[in-house]
Amino acid sequence: MRNNEFEENEEKLMALVEQYQFAREHNEPIHFSEEDFEEIIHYFLQSNKASDALEACNLALNIFPYSSEFSLAKADAYLELGDLESAEDTLENNYTLDYSDVNFYLIKSEIYLQRNQFDDALETIKKGLKTCFEDKDSLYLQMADVFEEMGDYINMISAVKKALKINPKNEEAFVTISFAFQFHQSSSDKIAIFLELINDDPYNIIAWYHLYLAYRESKQIEKAVEALEYILAIEPENEECINNLAITYYENNDYEKALNFLLELEKTDGLSAYNYIIMGVCYRELKQYKKAKVCFKEAMAIDDENPDLYFHLALMYFEEKKYNAAYSLIQKAEGYNKNNVYFLELKANIMLGMDMLEESIDILKTMIKIDPEMYLAYAKLSLALYINGQSSEALELIKEAIETYNYGELYFYQSIIYFEEGKMDAGLMSFMMGMEFSPQSYQIVFDYTPWIADLKSIQDVLIQYQSKNNEI
């Protein structure tokens, strides 16, 4: 019902604007009410059409010369056009202005702000806070803008907190305070502000949503999910929330829960191409390849130029060892984004599966040029070089990568080459170094050289690590 009302109002507004523009183009007499002019001018200002807004203001003032609102809108239009002098002249010595209107102080302080007259801007805002009875939250947000320009994030946060106290559902205030916290104070302080607002009003959807974002930003995924679940409890059909829950579960590798929410969303309002891609990835991770293909095809029907779609489809065919199909798809993805290292990595892996060893080596070298810190490229390249009979070059490369970037996982790749070369002592030493710096990744060695897993020396290292870990 609300959507229908919104669409109806939108249609009426657009019809009014068209009627006004037709009259202007054909030099017809202007017969609009004061309210009609207000809507037309507001539309132009909101649509970044300041010149049209200025023209409409002048016409409106010819008909309604005592309107404070049209004079303020005129000053606002000049401000948008960057004509600070004309904006200021419009505000000065104008006996028609209503000095209890918050817009007077917002426009005047913005003129000072754009001139870097910070003290004058703050003084104007303080006068507005004493004079105005409504919309004081917008004045505090303007104050926050001044403090931001001054680089004073402590006072910026303080000003936004005052805006939120007046209007706890001011979306702009939430966005502003999140921005300010990027430069000052910890995420826990920001979370505390949102929790306080929720404590005052447990049904504040905007506060819950920004709490979710704050938890997600600080990697507190369980609490982020909990915040979204509270939103759903308040608004069970909140599609954005359902979508965010699905994405959060997906990013947290909880593919079944992500699928449940996406399937629920599909029933209510359909899915976007991005949603179908996520659904396809979830099915792929659960090894349900047939369902994954259906989802990727649904995504393709909506947006056939999405490179992520072709990447994930290629990855699925690669996992199924259908290298020819995978190769065609990754080339398609690469066509949209040639320097995407993840696309190049998959392409190199597919080429290895197709025995295109030298081509794979070239791709891996390209990856390192694009992103020198992508350590897996060094690992894969060293293995490819070894397979290609260039063992000395392979070991030199992995050694150089370890010394340069100090990624513990690289030791395991080094150990693989040593073990394959029959250099057992060197392989064992590299394996032990890997366990020291990146113990969670030791399975890499067994994936490439499964026969190593049964060696007593390797088992002893694993047992020793487990004992040490238990002591801690």
Q: What is the dihedral of CA 91, 93, 97, 101, to 10 degrees?
A: 50
CB 311 within 8 A of CB 343: yes
Q: Give me the domain span that covers residue 472.
A: 372-472
pLDDT in tens, 239-255: 788 778 888 888 888 89
Residue 185 pLDDT more than 70?
no
Angle at alpha carbon of residue 156, lines to 152 and 157, rounded to 5°: 125
DSSP 122-142: HHHHHHHHHH-SS-HHHHHHH
**CA quadruple 15, 16, 19, 25: dihedral sign:** negative
32 in a domain, yes or no? yes
42 in a domain, yes or no? yes
Task: Mention every residue, 6+ apart, whose C-beta is less than 8 A from residue 433.
Answer: 408, 411
433 in a domain, yes or no? yes
pLDDT in tens, 151-170: 898 899 999 999 999 999 99
Domain boundary among the residues 38, 65, 97 is at 97
Check residue 107 and give its pLDDT: 95
216 in a domain, yes or no? no
Residue 5 pLDDT more than 80?
no
pLDDT in tens, 369-406: 887 767 777 777 787 888 778 888 888 888 888 887 77
**3-state DSSP percent of the chain in helix, strand and coil, to 5:** 80, 0, 20
37 in a domain, yes or no? yes
Q: Across residues 433-446, what is the average pLDDT?
A: 88
Taking the C-alpha atoms of residue 18 and residue 33, their distance in angstroms, rounded to an integer, is 15
Q: Which amino acid is at 173?
A: A
pLDDT in tens, 275-311: 889 899 999 889 898 999 899 988 889 988 889 899 9
Domain boundary among the residues 50, 74, 97 is at 97
**Whole-Å CA distances, 252 to 120, 121, 221:** 49, 46, 8
191 in a domain, yes or no? no
The total of structural domains in the chain comes to 2
Smallest CA-to-CA distance from 73 within 41, 114, 39, 34 is with 41
Domain boundary among the residues 81, 97, 113 is at 97
| Widest Cα–Cα separation across the chain | 97
Check which CATH number belongs to the domain holding 425 and give it.
1.25.40.10
Q: What is the CA radius of gyration of the chain?
A: 31
438 in a domain, yes or no? yes
Mean of the per-residue pLDDT values of the chain: 87
460 in a domain, yes or no? yes
